[in-house]
Homo-oligomer: A and B are copies of this chain.
Amino acid sequence: MTPEHPLLAAPPRVVNVGLELFAETLAALRVPVVHVAWRPPAASAHALALLARLDARREAVERANAVAFDRLTGGEPALVDCRPAREALELPERTVLHAGPPLAWERMCEPMRAAVRCAIRYEGWAANDDAAEDLVRRGAARLAPCHDWRAVGPMTGIVTASMPVLVVENRAHGTRAHATINEGLGKVLRFGATDDSVLARLRWLASEAGPLLGAALRAARGIELRPLIAQALRMGDELHQRNVAASSLLVRALMPHVARAGQRHNAVARLAEFMAGNDQFFLNVAMAAGKALADPAAGIPEATLVTAMARNGTDFGIRVSATGDRWFTAPVEMPTGLYFPGYGAGDANPDMGDSAIVETVGLGGGAMAASPAVARFVGAGGMADALAATEEIRDICHGEHPYFSIPAQDERGVPAGIDVRRVVETGITPLINTGIAGRQAGTGQIGAGVARAPLACFELALAALAG
């Protein structure tokens, strides 16, 4: 026999770097292999230069991010009240709040325009849609983002003065954030539906449900939301697509106070029925909690963590801690997902709503591993896809949430504190679980799925941070 080269005397031992496929093929052939997860930086030369500039101040940035992360994850949100926006936000008449970064009427998508017109009719500021649009066009009714008014709104995100808003107080920081009451499924204003049933529900929310919820919440001296959200994560919610556990826990905690506060039996029963029929009742509470948690993390010099993500159906915008209220925007992407019968991708409106505030604080897309049922929107579904979605988001986050954890990962915290630097470096953009609105005004919801935050927002933010 020919003497062998010593390297060939033993079976090969393989270290694989990068593409997992090679390692998997070798493993399938029973060749021992060690896989090293690595991918080349995705960033452009320009972005790498910006990252290098930030890296020169690395210690200061890390210190600032640690403070921002503590504020983002350490808040104590409590649902304390429900009052008309004119009282809670001191929102003036003839002002219409909408989701996402600021947007002129001319650039608004159709569902949002329809919702604006409908809200103006609902408030009685105009008698019909034409008159309503005229008010906006000549500036007699003002448009403004919810975020500028300590509020967040799902999908179109419309808020006007007489609409009741849920009030969430961050008891650790003294800040408050607000969101309207979730209207339920079907024809609803937030998806741009505008028929009589929408108006009738808005009137009932303002005249009966809102005041009753407010009285119950004040009597309860607030409902602590951090333990409730933590519990719901253990029950299969990721708090964006799926809120059935959180909604049920909230209803159970709230009903004794609703029953006591109710002046009329039927009002109590109607509110109980409304909440029993709406698995997403908690979504708007989670959103207000998200803003109440995220706001105290804003305005920390050098901190590169994201403090808001929001979409208006035209633009996607992010805010970053160090740059305060400034929006970094880019054209919003199309969601992908599953559609109700009779609808498809061609009917979908671009991504919309302030609900990405829940992803900003570590819930939603990044918490998918808590919610395998939701994972069918990102792939074949099931536990493996759910875990993979969460693991990917870990790559762009500052750390693990100290209070929100995932039972299927042995109570490991959800990834939290999206770092603009890591997003640009890896090319991994935040994953956002979302409802999908029809692009035709008046259609309403046509499906649900996921969307990605556009990389360009983070590149713009990075330039400002490195600047």
A244-264 interface mask toward B, CB cutoff 8 Å, 1 = contact, 0 = none?
Answer: 110111011101111110100
Confirm or deny: A236 has a beta carbon within 8 angstroms of a beta carbon on chain B: yes
Kindly identify which residue among B269, B383, B384, B407 contacts A259, using a CB–CB cutoff of 8 Å.
Answer: B269
Given contacts A372-B407, A408-B408, contact A275 B248 (CB under 8 A): no
Q: How far is the CA of A20 from the CA of B130 in the complex (A)?
A: 75
C-alpha gap A262/B266 in the complex (Å): 10
A248 to chain B: closest residue by CB: B248
A291–chain B nearest beta-carbon distance, Å: 25
Q: A252 and B262 in contact (CB under 8 A), knowing A234-B373, A235-B235, A407-B383?
A: no
CB distance from A306 to the nearest CB of B (A): 30
* A268 at the binding interface (Cβ < 8 Å): yes
With a cutoff of 8 Å between Cβ atoms, the chain B residues found around residue A249 in the complex are 244, 248
Determine which residue in A3, A252, A262, A276 has the highest number of CB atoms from chain B within 10 A of its CB, and name it.
A252
Residues in B whose Cβ lies below 8 Å from that of A236: 234-236, 407
A275 and B254 alpha carbons, distance in the complex (Å): 11
A70–chain B nearest beta-carbon distance, Å:
27
Complex CA–CA separation, A13 to B260 (angstroms): 72
CA distance A260 to B267 in the complex (A): 9
- Smallest CB gap from A411: residue in B: B382
Name, among A1, A262, A268, the residue most crowded by chain B CB atoms within 10 Å (CB to CB): A268
- Nearest-neighbour CB distance to chain B for A259, whole angstroms, equals 4
Tell whether, in the assembled complex, residue B235 and residue A252 are in contact, meaning their CB atoms are under 8 Å apart.
no
Contact with B along A118-156 (1 / 0, CB 8 A): 000000000000000000000000000000000000000
Shortest Cβ distance from A193 into chain B, in angstroms?
25
Q: Using known A-B contacts A236-B234, A248-B248, determine if residue A276 contacts B260 with beta carbons closer than 8 Å.
A: no
CB distance from A395 to the nearest CB of B (A): 22
A4 nearest CB across to chain B (Å): 9
Tell me whether A410 is interfacial, beta carbon within 8 Å: yes
Q: A409 — which chain B residues lie within 8 A by C-beta?
A: 383
**Shortest distance from the beta carbon of A367 to any chain B beta carbon, whole Å:** 14
Query: A46 within 8 Å of B by Cβ?
Result: no
A39 on the interface (CB 8 Å rule)?
A: no
Say whether A16 faces chain B, with CB atoms less than 8 Å apart: no
Task: Specify the chain B residue showing the minimal Cβ separation from A253.
Answer: B276
Q: Is A440 engaged at the interface, CB distance under 8 Å to the other chain?
A: no
Binding site for B on A (CB under 8 A): 1, 3, 11, 13, 30, 32, 231, 234-236, 244-245, 247-249, 251-253, 255-260, 262, 265-266, 268-270, 272-273, 275-276, 372-373, 382-384, 407-411
Known: A235-B245, A244-B249, A248-B252. 18 other contacts (CB 8 A): A13-B30, A234-B373, A235-B235, A235-B244, A245-B245, A245-B248, A248-B249, A255-B272, A256-B272, A256-B273, A258-B272, A259-B262, A259-B269, A260-B265, A260-B269, A262-B265, A382-B410, A384-B410
A-B contact pairs, 9 of them (CB 8 A): A11-B11, A235-B235, A245-B248, A248-B249, A252-B252, A260-B269, A372-B408, A383-B407, A383-B409
Counting from the closest, the 3 A-B pairs by CB-CB distance are A248-B248, A259-B269, A235-B235
